[in-house]
A and B are shown apart, each in its own frame.
Chain A
């Protein structure tokens, strides 16, 4: 077990979480990153900024999101109580809006007029297009051509919100390539452009900033647990692609040594098949997208193509704080396969009337496994990070149904 006593002390001033994180970027980006770090560190302690963010989270996003006891699901599983933090009820349907609302306010404070973003499942793209529309900022979203195909509804939503969606056809045509392309755009247009990274990866200060904006999930959940259940949960779980919803839930509990933490990565067709996106469970330390973290790559250091049924988890890296938590022994990261996620999706739909996002269905599957290991009075708190409307076509196609 870990010897670290205060997880709030990370990252350090260079954005390092132990051996992970940092700023591994081209020289051209060092100045804009320094400018962003300076602005963000000033704003995060600025009462006026905090008040505006709180107002937006309450009246625009719809926070706080409730904690919901899934009684029928828990009964069906026959173990501990399963509780969901309902981030799927947020405006735009996922936790992603917590971060984009925050970063958009930072962008406006810095006088930037153009927003760029990368997206995998499209949730972050939609959340970015949403806040850009609200603040009257131009918005360009980079999205892998493969993801555009499997997330058509979200692509159309972004367009309805006034964003330009740019298909990325390099590499594996998925999230990692969209991130490369957004970085190239930023390098070229640093003067007027703000890059809203959608996950807790990328160079400093993004892993810090995105974590801070999502940490409201865990802060609320911790207070709700104490108020409604008089205790903390036995175990937390969330799905981990880049890891923003997971760190959002986990962060407020990191110093609660008795609360176990388990992240669910996409095991795709199975970890043994090589067709997965489980960077922590099956990868190794490397450098990708501006930070040192666990990556999936071959012996030549080439990043390998990943597979997951869920576009939002289909990423060969992971946020550096998760890499740090893994090495520190504070959190465990395990794989959940496409099939397990689908089974959990259906079970949740039939027992609770909730269509979870495919990403979140990985967490639901893990919550079910954890509940089985615990006594009936135990509590598993799972982040239901997004709703599944966007995935209906993917699921129908997988099951041979024409919609």
Chain B
């Protein structure tokens, strides 16, 4: 059983909805990245999505685009991201980490090399926005070493394809709540409740819902029908410009604590 599987099994046993914060690796700072990751866990994160910055983030809205640009300007590369995960693992052996991003940085790093280094660092899975199921043969070397490929499903996904995604899902299935980029604000929970319930009934893995969830209220509205919620842009926005480790930790706590409480009150 993978670390991600164990975590979702524990959540299910406890009757809790998972909280998955997304942060861009290298933003708002390089030196306090690992401190930030621990702070997320302390504030209630069940799994961390760590964004690998990419110069051309086609599926991301302005908030995450700018976070990526800032991280790249600071010189962040895949090697840094893996080093942060390795350091994080020295103190936290249980919280799963999924690297989220785009294919080119891994392609250039080399699939075999990345697979080996990522497992060694303690990465559990990858969510590659521009690598749909049809192209995922390139990730075989990642699967061979036990890295799970987190697949996405969207409102536009056709029924036959949805069945395929549900059957191939591992770790968790990431349901994109609306057609758009990350951080856009037109979440309509009524529309998606039925769709997510259907996907959840069929998927081989738990279902996390992301895109458009920005606070306790929107998280709570999702909690009724998802195994976990993903919060990215709103958190990245809150963290941007944090001056030091204490400031960053305080912001993460202030942001996530009410969301955690709302999920647990559900």
Query: Interface of A with B (CB < 8 Å)?
Result: 14, 22-32, 34, 170-171, 176-177, 180, 183-184, 187-188, 190-191, 284-290, 292, 295, 297, 299-303
Q: Is B228 interfacial (CB 8 A cutoff)?
A: no
Q: Is B192 interfacial (CB 8 A cutoff)?
A: no
The residue of chain A having its C-beta at the shortest distance from the C-beta of B102 within the complex is A287
The residue of chain B having its C-beta at the shortest distance from the C-beta of A183 within the complex is B58
- How near does chain B come to A363, taking the closest CB pair, in angstroms? 27
Chain B residues lying within 8 Å of A297, measured Cβ to Cβ, are 55, 104, 108
Residue pair A26, B59 in contact (C-beta under 8 Å): yes
Chain A residues lying within 8 Å of B132, measured Cβ to Cβ, are 23-27, 30
- Complex CA gap A26/B151 in Å reads 10
- The A interface, classified by DSSP as helix, strand, loop or mixed, is mixed
* 14 residue pairs from A and B, CB less than 8 Å apart: A23-B132, A24-B131, A26-B58, A26-B59, A28-B179, A30-B157, A170-B62, A177-B56, A184-B181, A187-B59, A284-B108, A287-B104, A287-B130, A300-B109
Chain B interface size band reads 35 or more
- Complex CA gap A155/B118 in Å reads 46
For residues 177 through 231 of chain B, which have their beta carbon under 8 Å from a beta carbon of chain A? 179-181, 184
Evaluate whether A14 and B108 lie within 8 angstroms (CB atoms) in the complex, with A187-B181, A188-B184, A190-B156 already known.
no
Chain A residues lying within 8 Å of B158, measured Cβ to Cβ, are 31, 34
The residue among B131, B152, B155 with the most chain A CB atoms within 10 A of its own CB is B131
Chain A residues lying within 8 Å of B134, measured Cβ to Cβ, are 14, 22-23, 30
Can you list, as one digit per residue, whether each of B44-58 has a CB less than 8 Å from chain A (1) or not (0)? 000000000111111
> Inter-chain contact count A-B, CB under 8 Å?
126
Evaluate whether A286 and B135 lie within 8 angstroms (CB atoms) in the complex, with A30-B157, A184-B61 already known.
no
Q: Is B250 interfacial (CB 8 A cutoff)?
A: no
Chain A residues lying within 8 Å of B69, measured Cβ to Cβ, are 170-171
- Complex CA gap A25/B130 in Å reads 4
Residue pair A300, B157 in contact (C-beta under 8 Å): no
Chain A residues lying within 8 Å of B102, measured Cβ to Cβ, are 287
- Complex CA gap A150/B107 in Å reads 34
- How near does chain B come to A329, taking the closest CB pair, in angstroms? 23
- The B interface, classified by DSSP as helix, strand, loop or mixed, is loop
Can you list, as one digit per residue, whether each of B149-172 has a CB less than 8 Å from chain A (1) or not (0)? 001111111100100000000000
Residue pair B103, A287 in contact (C-beta under 8 Å): yes
Residue pair A180, B57 in contact (C-beta under 8 Å): yes
Chain B residues lying within 8 Å of A177, measured Cβ to Cβ, are 56
Beyond A26-B154, A176-B56, 5 additional pairs, beta carbon < 8 A: A26-B59, A32-B156, A183-B58, A289-B58, A301-B78
- Complex CA gap A300/B105 in Å reads 6
Q: Is B77 interfacial (CB 8 A cutoff)?
A: yes
Q: Is B176 interfacial (CB 8 A cutoff)?
A: yes
Evaluate whether A30 and B161 lie within 8 angstroms (CB atoms) in the complex, with A289-B56, A303-B55 already known.
yes
Q: Is B242 interfacial (CB 8 A cutoff)?
A: no
Chain A residues lying within 8 Å of B148, measured Cβ to Cβ, are none
- Complex CA gap A89/B139 in Å reads 47
Evaluate whether A286 and B56 lie within 8 angstroms (CB atoms) in the complex, with A22-B135, A187-B179, A188-B180 already known.
no
Chain A residues lying within 8 Å of B151, measured Cβ to Cβ, are 27
Q: Is B121 interfacial (CB 8 A cutoff)?
A: no
Q: Is B72 interfacial (CB 8 A cutoff)?
A: yes
Chain A residues lying within 8 Å of B153, measured Cβ to Cβ, are 27
Q: Is B129 interfacial (CB 8 A cutoff)?
A: yes
Residue pair A300, B78 in contact (C-beta under 8 Å): yes
Residue pair B181, A302 in contact (C-beta under 8 Å): no
- How near does chain B come to A69, taking the closest CB pair, in angstroms? 43
- How near does chain A come to B80, taking the closest CB pair, in angstroms? 9
Q: Is B65 interfacial (CB 8 A cutoff)?
A: yes
Chain A residues lying within 8 Å of B181, measured Cβ to Cβ, are 184, 187-188
Residue pair A299, B157 in contact (C-beta under 8 Å): no
Q: Is B11 interfacial (CB 8 A cutoff)?
A: no
In the A-B complex, list the 4 residue pairs whose CB atoms are closest, starting with the nearest.
A301-B105, A300-B77, A301-B108, A27-B152
Chain A residues lying within 8 Å of B180, measured Cβ to Cβ, are 28, 187-188
Q: Is B106 interfacial (CB 8 A cutoff)?
A: yes
